[in-house]
Amino acid sequence: MNAHKSLDQRVAELAARDLPLARRILAEAIRIPADYVDRPVDQGGDPLCGLSNHEGPRLEYLRRTIIEVGAVRRPEDVGFDAYGNLVWTVEDPDDGIAADDKKVIYFDGHTDTVKALREVWRDKLEGGIDAYEGRRPGGRLAEDFLRRELGWLPPTDELDHVIFGRGSADQLGGVVAEIIATRILLELAPEGALRGVIVRAYGTTAEEDNDGAGPMYVVGRELPGAPLHRVPDVVILTEGTGDSRKGALGLYRGQRGRMQIEVRVVGRSCHGSMPWEGLNPLEYGARILVEAADAYEARQGFLDDPFLGHGTRTASWAVLDSPSDCAVPDTFTFRFDRRLTVGEDPEQARKDIEDLPAVARARAAGLQVEVTVPRYEQPTWKGYVPGNPQIYMGWSTPEDHPAIQAGVQTYDRVVGPNVPDGPQEGGRLRKQCRVDRWIFSTDGVGFPVRKGQHGIAGTDRKRWVQAGDFEHPPMFGFGPGIEQNTHKIGECMDTRELQHAIAFLARYPSVFAGG
């Protein structure tokens, strides 16, 4: 027990020591696109720098930083896979434990952001905060606007703890926490921090556009046939797990998934004065939309999970191809955003639309109706074309799973005892570990694989979670950032959360391994 206390204290002390370093790395990771977005393309500029598939400069900076701060033993322990994910590994080669007998822990965080909307920041925040450069020295802080816009902002006298900028809450802070945690793990390896574990840390790409595609590459291309020391026993997602009402740094053990269902209705165009000469895809497509909405309202074909909630479906996007506004259109294409709860099958979700009576009536009338799942074909910054169906599976790790219980124990050792006494309302840190779920989607959707088809060894031994026709490694989220602050003007993160996230990630491996 004394050894446990000693390691707990050492981890917490080093996380506090390294917080200024973490702040500097995070500020630069946020700022980097500013060097490219306004530069002409023929001079090396990229107006999309920092977005999905345009993360290169940020990722190269993070790779160099991992080496410079000692977050790997050797420079060759960090690099990029063919997809473009940043990957680095730490372990204790002198712990006397065979690699295949060690617990394998993945850290996962994505490195892309949504659009910065820099000019909107400048306008609404009166020039005091820049989307890339953060709070400007001497600039006015538009605090009234921020408190209306954001889900949570600390009191005025605590705002020096806050770092502003696109990606601060979603989710560059989590990636920086991974970097500093692996640095601390190596520093404390002689004290047992890495005994019996291998930590593989990821900074993934294109999560905002194509949720979980980085992990999809890993489980689909790298893990089939791989040795046990590559297969995860647990995945920690460092996406923000704060809630504006329930508190910062929850431990999130699940989320719903999602998929896109595209319906393409092809009719026959003609002049609007003679509609009998044509077949109107807009009118027939509208009937499909109405029937789909009615079926959802009646919850026909939707499962309900007591933890994650029920599946949902809503029309989310449409394009109409028509010669003019006085003609019968030629083609009407629309999509459904289908949220998948645990146990729902994406093919059945597609088929639920295919089987609507309105689809049959349109086809019987002579229109062509295609119901498909679109594929994501945009190349990553490394030129890899994923080509994956836009299906992102939900997942849930049981609360009594050892991976979750180790997370609660870790919180109770290095986070809760170091949360100051005082108010614990809103988005503040809590002394007690809160086990909950995400509202939005994360990289976790990329890990579920269909049973009997994946070729990954040792999933039973590693206690992967079974979910209908799918299975996935035990997963949970723990990361800095308030969920209701993401994607907003004035996005920010309280760096006190960053410090405790670092401590958690640096202590969890040894707790999970039984140390």
pLDDT at 423 (0 to 100): 86
Mean pLDDT (whole number) for 387-391: 95
- Measured distance between the N- and C-terminal CA atoms of the chain, rounded to whole angstroms: 10
Q: What percent of the chain has pLDDT over 70?
A: 99
Give dist(CA 104, CA 228) in Å, integer: 9
DSSP-derived secondary structure letter, 368: E
Determine if the pTM surpasses 0.75. Answer: yes
119: its two tokens? 């000019």
pLDDT higher than threshold 80 for residue 1:
no
Mean pLDDT taken over the chain: 96
Residues of the chain with CATH 3.40.630.10: 2-114+160-256+394-512
Give dist(CA 418, CA 428) in Å, integer: 13
Taking a C-beta distance cutoff of 8 angstroms, is the pair 255, 394 a contact?
A: yes
Q: What CATH number does the domain located at 2-114+160-256+394-512 have? A: 3.40.630.10
Residues of the chain with CATH 3.30.70.360: 259-376
pLDDT at 502 (0 to 100): 98
Mean pLDDT (whole number) for 55-71: 98
33: its two tokens? 């696109």
Give dist(CA 9, CA 196) in Å, integer: 20
Q: How far is CA 377 from the centre of its chain?
A: 19
pLDDT digits (tens, 9 = 90+) for 237-249: 999 999 999 999 9
CATH class of 259-376: alpha beta
pLDDT digits (tens, 9 = 90+) for 175-193: 999 999 999 999 999 999 9
pLDDT higher than threshold 70 for residue 5:
no
> At 293, is the secondary structure helix, strand, or coil?
helix
pLDDT higher than threshold 60 for residue 33:
yes
pLDDT digits (tens, 9 = 90+) for 124-155: 998 899 999 999 988 888 999 999 999 999 99
pLDDT at 7 (0 to 100): 95
pLDDT higher than threshold 90 for residue 468:
no
158: its two tokens? 């605590």
